[in-house]
Structure 1
Amino acid sequence: MDMHNQQIEKANQEVNKLKEQVSNHEWNLQYHVMPQANWMNDPNGFSYYKGEYHLFYQHHPYDSKWGPMHWGHVKSKDLVRWEHLPIALAPSEDYDKDGCFSGSAIEKDGKLYLMYTGNVWIEGKLDEDLKQVQAIAVSEDGIHFEKIKENPVISEVPGGDINIFHFRDPKVWKHEGSYYCVLGSKTKSNTGQVLLYRSSNLIDWEFVSVMAKGKGNFGFMWECPDLFELEGKEVLVMSPQGVKPEGNDYHNLHQAGYVIGELNYQTGIFQYGPYYTLDHGFDFYAPQTMVDDKGRRILIAWMDMWESDMPTQEFGYSGAMTIPRIVSLKNSRLYMLPVPELAELREEETYYSDVKINGEQSFEGVYGDCLELNMEINVKEATTFGLKLRKDAATKQETILSFDKLDGLVTLDRTKAGVGPGGVRKAAISLDEIITLHIFIDKSSVEIFINEGERVMSARIYPTKEAQGITFFSDRLITITSLSKWNLKKAIK
């Protein structure tokens, strides 16, 4: 057995020791992708191959804290029921001995190619003395991967105003017969930027350009870039580090957002408009997209945040993915909605229509810790209204979603959500007479889709098992024109 397969075998054995304990823990999510044990961060290699969705992720199989990165791996036929597979990549070579960092996947000649960043720490300052290169691993079955002998396929940072240490997260795609990839980068003076490369065969790469560069409050490093076409426009999704808070925006440690524009494939220059946040909650980073056989652009992100308190770590696991979301372009903005396949998890519908609320009220059958809510509200004369989720009167736990019509703001408040990080996040929202809410609650998460995906807010929360109440509140009369609640079945073994 070669060194790579030895390392994978060893890592799988380590995960197996804890997976049963983790699967029975009260905060273990029921229908979100999580590691079977230990650490998870960025989604990687999100792709559709031989009739199945494949999702890889940054994984440290030896600890519930970040460490030498491997690639964990799950696959699904329907984006709902995911099967855990053996670890796909492990550090094993001189060029990736300290980590197989983030990257992407593409099919070529019936094989699945992973393109990833090999990381090596050099003695000295952790954030400066490192060597990052780009490498390829190939599989004929989508499960077992072999690192190619030509690695690293991009071994040096290009000349010019490009930081020589930070050079990572390749996202690869095909356009008019050539392969392209974008790489996260920064300038020598710490301004975030994205590099563009081109190849005819995925092995021999040429540097095309600094495709896009930040101006103003746009961070010191752009991680996990992803360029794709939607409705005739190019969209660049990325995760800028170091953006400073402005008003209600940018209060997470790092951001995840997008710009819309046009890429000139000849010059490699991307002309783009304003930067927008993708998810206005607490826990959303490193989103990656893919196109499936139905032509849908689907996005998954890491549903946690760097340097955030993660209470599950003491129980042997940390990190999760968002539910898969369909991305569309409307009104020159990206909208995100949950994939409709998730409806397959529904059971025991509770339904109400034309219910009037003035004050605070709960409904029989509308409670729980693993559920879906879908509702339409006529807000009429109300100026403030909303919901309290995962509520427990005895311990005063609650996660509050509230709308302020006068200020045009939606607020997600997890100050009393249980253990773990608290905090408040706010976002501007158009509040007409009718608003729609689509909410997914899992054992330690909540994802909220407002006005058909105009705004999305995601958060990890860690309440007690008893916190299952849901109440609605309003300062003046509102009408819930329709309210559906379903319990959701466990989807991931």
Structure 2
Amino acid sequence: MNTSKLERAQRSIDELRPRAEADPMRPVFHFHPRSRWMNDPNGTIYVDGYYHLFYQLNPYGDAWGSIHWGHARTRDFTEWEHLPIALAPDGDEYEHFCYSGCAVVPEDGPPRIFYTSVSADRETHPHTQRSAVGTADLVSWHKGEPPTLTLADAPTGTRADWRDPYVFEHDGRHFMVVAAVIPHDGQDRAAVLLYRAEDRSLDRWSYVQPLHLYEEEVTFAECPNLFRIGERWVLIVSPFGPLRYAIGADGDPPDRFAPDRVGIVDYSAEYYATNTFLVDGRVILVAWIRGFPKGRGWNGCLSIPRELGISTDGDLIQTPIEEVRSLRTRGGTVAPEVLRSNRVELGDVPVRGVEIEGTLRIGPHGRAAIRLSSEEGPLFSLEFDGATSTLHAEGIPVRLDPERSAEQPISFRVFVDRSVVEAFIDGGRRCVTRVAENLLQADRLVLETDDGAGFGYLHYWEMIPIEYRDWDTSTRAQ
């Protein structure tokens, strides 16, 4: 890797760091780079006690642009170490951007990054899937030649913008999925393509088949993630809108993926471009949170990591990882007699950096709301409507279980981090993420119900910031 490019990019990050860190809108318990633009999480991998996070980074602005790969690591998601930038685009006619991908550490080989190499002219130079080989500590990377996969390795007629390789292992073999648009029955269809490694070197790959084809309303299935929860394969894609999941039947191998359950990961498109940590049976999902205003010296952050499971009736379950609880500090519980009022205003809740947990009972015609407010009125609202079994999150409808009885409580955990709200509803069966620019004026929590609804309990905790440190080269041998 050209060290002068990486050093120049790092200096640009450092130059804007004071401005970014001083911005009161910037989240404090969601991971982000020191400054500038961040998007997709990449190369999420656990090695020697560290969770390594690579991510899309524009070190020269707070908007999408010259995409590099940033890098950080953590042992527990609450203390992070910023590592040197991992990848920079070559800057020649073939590579202007280093798009999304993954990282792999084979048992009998060096660490590998797989990513999409992108030219400014995709018609003349279609996307290729390239790799880079890393040092044992995953800090320094050297790009390989030739590309791992070119358009000639895809089905005939595949569109030139195929991208986002994701590698996984099954029964001692490595597989890769790639997002693409391919011809099928006379139409262009969004697809996830499946490849198989020829050997343990991961240098040679064979095309297997389309893993999954999407209907016409999905025009592209970006950032495919394919992994197992127990014996079931789960596919998550980012289709230029709210993320979709598909769950396959028990025991099926990846080349016979046949989903029997589909759903929405997060009802907001502000939660996007996921990747996974697969560690000791845990599946931890992270995403890029987007939608922040430009011109503030930073843009984008990582979501709260979510641990995934499958319910007994086949739904995807997402819960904040247990490690997040260590960020809780002073808190409180709202007394039951207070909650019996139709309107409760709580001025002592630290609403700009808080976790709120509780339950709500709502009848077939009941209404309830959780509002972050100021003296002038609500600034952000989660509104529950029993008649339509819907939660409205500032314009985004979230469909709740219509079969729920009036006596069955709805659980919720809501995280507010300056300008970000992440809500986990009904035990994580429904999730919604929003970016809200005006929350700096919020100074109270307001709970509202009519006679057809009521809160069961409500706890809250102030959340402390996660901690960062810069890479110390003296620790490299550790």
- TM-score of the aligned structures, taking structure 1 as reference length: 0.87
Q: Give the alignment of 1:232-243 within 5 angstroms.
A: 232-241=231-240
Letter in 1 for 2:298: Y
Aligned to 2:301, the other structure's residue is in SS state: coil
Deviating 4+ runs (over 4 angstroms): 93-96, 262-266
- The aligned residue for residue 351 of structure 1 is 333
CA distance in 2, matches of 1:454, 1:98: 40
Q: Tell me, which stretches of 5 or more residues in structure 1 are unaligned? A: 242-253, 414-422
Q: How far is the alpha carbon of 1:110 from its aligned partner? A: 6.8
Q: How far is the alpha carbon of 1:143 from its aligned partner? A: 3.9
Q: Give the alignment of 1:133-144 within 5 angstroms.
A: 133-144=128-139
CA distance in 2, matches of 1:78, 1:358: 40
Q: How far is the alpha carbon of 1:384 from its aligned partner? A: 0.4
Aligned to 2:188, the other structure's residue is in SS state: coil
1:148 and 1:64, CA in 2 relative to 1: closer, same or farther beyond 3 A?
closer
Is 1:471–2:471 an aligned residue pair? Answer: no
State, as a whole percentage, how many aligned pairs show the same letter: 28
Q: Once the two structures are superposed, what CA deviation does each residue of 1:221-266 show, in whole Å capped at 9, x if it has no partner?
A: 111111111121111111124xxxxxxxxxxxx2311111158658
1:157 and 1:35, CA in 2 relative to 1: closer, same or farther beyond 3 A?
farther
CA distance in 2, matches of 1:195, 1:291: 21
CA distance in 1, matches of 2:239, 2:333: 42
1:48 and 1:160, CA in 2 relative to 1: closer, same or farther beyond 3 A?
closer
Is 1:208–2:191 an aligned residue pair? Answer: no
- The aligned residue for residue 472 of structure 2 is none
- The aligned residue for residue 346 of structure 2 is 363
The alignment of Structure 1 onto Structure 2 pairs a total of residues equal to: 456
Letter in 2 for 1:90: A
Q: Once the two structures are superposed, what CA deviation does each residue of 1:67-115 show, in whole Å capped at 9, x if it has no partner?
A: 1210111211002222222211111275862111100111124743211
CA distance in 2, matches of 1:265, 1:438: 35
- The aligned residue for residue 302 of structure 2 is 321
- The aligned residue for residue 398 of structure 2 is 426
Moved more, 340-349 or 160-169: 160-169
Contact 2:58 2:68 in 1 (8 A): yes
1:110 and 1:172, CA in 2 relative to 1: closer, same or farther beyond 3 A?
same
1:445 and 1:64, CA in 2 relative to 1: closer, same or farther beyond 3 A?
same
CA distance in 2, matches of 1:106, 1:139: 10
- The aligned residue for residue 335 of structure 1 is 317
Letter in 2 for 1:320: C
CA distance in 2, matches of 1:17, 1:50: 32
Q: Once the two structures are superposed, what CA deviation does each residue of 1:410-468 show, in whole Å capped at 9, x if it has no partner?
A: 1111xxxxxxxxx4333233544311110110011000011110101101111153313
Q: Give the alignment of 1:438-453 within 5 angstroms.
A: 438-453=413-428
CA distance in 2, matches of 1:197, 1:143: 25
Q: Tell me, which stretches of 5 or more residues in structure 2 are unaligned? A: 469-478
Letter in 2 for 1:184: A
Is 1:271–2:243 an aligned residue pair? Answer: no
CA distance in 1, matches of 2:9, 2:419: 26
CA distance in 2, matches of 1:86, 1:180: 29
Contact 2:419 2:440 in 1 (8 A): no
Contact 1:374 1:438 in 2 (8 A): yes
Q: Give the alignment of 1:92-491 within 5 angstroms.
A: 92=90, 97-108=95-106, 109=108, 111-122=110-121, 128=123, 130-158=125-153, 160-188=155-183, 189-199=187-197, 200=199, 201-217=201-217, 219-241=218-240, 254-262=241-249, 265=253, 268-293=255-280, 295-304=281-290, 308=291, 310-311=292-293, 313-330=294-311, 331-355=313-337, 356-379=339-362, 383-389=366-372, 391-394=373-376, 396-413=377-394, 423-430=395-402, 431-432=404-405, 433=407, 434-463=409-438, 465-476=440-451, 478-491=453-466
Q: How far is the alpha carbon of 1:16 from its aligned partner? A: 0.4
- TM-score of the aligned structures, taking structure 2 as reference length: 0.90
Q: How far is the alpha carbon of 1:171 from its aligned partner? A: 0.5
Pick aligned residue for 1:38 from 36, 39, 52: 36
Pick aligned residue for 1:88 from 86, 96, 102: 86
Contact 2:189 2:216 in 1 (8 A): no
CA distance in 1, matches of 2:163, 2:364: 51
- The aligned residue for residue 473 of structure 2 is none
Aligned to 1:191, the other structure's residue is in SS state: strand
1:380 and 1:364, CA in 2 relative to 1: closer, same or farther beyond 3 A?
farther
Q: CA RMSD in A?
A: 2.2
Q: How far is the alpha carbon of 1:162 from its aligned partner? A: 4.0
Aligned to 2:195, the other structure's residue is in SS state: strand
CA distance in 1, matches of 2:450, 2:344: 12
CA distance in 2, matches of 1:96, 1:393: 55
1:336 and 1:481, CA in 2 relative to 1: closer, same or farther beyond 3 A?
same
Aligned to 2:427, the other structure's residue is in SS state: coil
Moved more, 477-486 or 442-451: 477-486
Q: Give the alignment of 1:19-38 within 5 angstroms.
A: 19-38=17-36
CA distance in 1, matches of 2:32, 2:194: 31
Contact 2:347 2:444 in 1 (8 A): no
Contact 2:419 2:439 in 1 (8 A): no
Letter in 1 for 2:271: F
1:58 and 1:35, CA in 2 relative to 1: closer, same or farther beyond 3 A?
same
